[in-house]
Amino acid sequence: MMTFSPRVFSGIQPSGDLHLGNYLGAIRRFVPLQDTHETIYCVVDMHAITVWQEPDALRRATREVAAAFIAAGVDPKRSIVFNQSQVVQHAELAWVFNCVARMGWMARMTQFKDKAGKNSENVSLGLFAYPSLMAADILLYKATHVPVGDDQKQHLELTRDIAAKFNNDYAASIAAQGVPTDEGQFFPITEPLIAGPATRIMSLRDGTKKMSKSDPSDQSRISLLDDADAIAKKIKKATTDPAELPHDVDGLKERPEADNLVGIFAALSDRTKGEVLAEFGGQGWGKFKPALADLAVAVLAPMADEMRRLLDDPETIDAVLRDGGERAGAIAEETMKQVRSIIGFIR
């Protein structure tokens, strides 16, 4: 018998042009988890190729995500930081999970429907099956917790379903092989970590749309490589409504732009929306936007400077990823040795 140790896994796809939504929704939350859990943070480059990637651009984007992790405060000595493709067991376990998961489960994934649209017959098989790879990413390390945004909760539910089905389907073999379990469970039923006032950051031009690198307007997002001037200008030009800020959170209902900007202020200052409104309620945007711009510059500009410094030294980033890959690979291979034995592969 054993008890799963508290371990966090999270990955970010290297799709290029990291923005404020990536930072507040994920990367910023990685840092304090180092104090409470074992932490494994991955650049999921295998997920990235579910759609076509220009190889040199993929390499640059992979290093950019790693640089963002480090610049935000992730310590590669305390955490494992690596790129997914260095650990081949991700693909191996994903195939096992392809054979555990059901087609109907995959077909219900709303992100696939959103990304494929009416073109579902012509997208890659990888795009359809990648939630199985995501489950493998998490369960390969027997992660007990995953920090997720609202748009990833469905995929984590699938991960939990796959873990439960594997544990059930192979219960007799798990017992017979004598591998370590937690009350008979080989894989944990991973729990989500959803916290903070701004887990879903919206466009600065339209508060009803998620902040995205694919938006044609550069003014819709703050890039993590933007300098101080660009950050301040984008905040000050952000779309707002004419009303003053409300005195309580209920007053943000039906005001998506106001809700988004207050949420960004709250997340950047580690406060709640209510606390922000206690300070700024009743004031106009002429007071609030400059304060938000100053805060955003103070938090984000030093990180952008550090990212640029790291990106000018790719060998250092690659060394971090190599070291992390070796450490991750050791954990991954131990899991896969047990999985191979459980499912009946002869080695």
d(CA 318, CA 300): 24
Could you tell me which residues come within 8 angstroms of residue 55 by beta carbon, excluding any fewer than 6 positions away? none
Strand partners, 38: 7
Q: Is 272 exposed, middle or buried (0-12, 13-18, 19+ CB in 10 A)?
A: middle
- The answer to whether residue 115 is catalytic is yes
Strand partners, 10: 41
Hey, which bits of the chain come out as E strands? 7-12, 38-43, 80-83, 145-147, 191-193
- The answer to whether residue 213 is catalytic is yes
Q: Please count the other Cβ atoms lying within 10 Å of the Cβ belonging to residue 297.
A: 19
DSSP secondary structure of 162-198 = HHHHHHHHTHHHHHHHT---BTTBSS--PEEE--SS-
- The answer to whether residue 233 is catalytic is no
d(CA 214, CA 31): 27
* Catalytic residue from among 142, 153, 209, 213: 213
d(CA 169, CA 186): 11
* Catalytic residue from among 142, 210, 234, 289: 210
Assigned token pair, 345 = 């592969």
d(CA 168, CA 327): 30
Amino acid at 229: D
Could you tell me which residues come within 8 angstroms of residue 77 by beta carbon, excluding any fewer than 6 positions away? none
* Catalytic residue from among 77, 113, 115, 118: 115
Residues with a catalytic annotation lie at 115, 210, 213
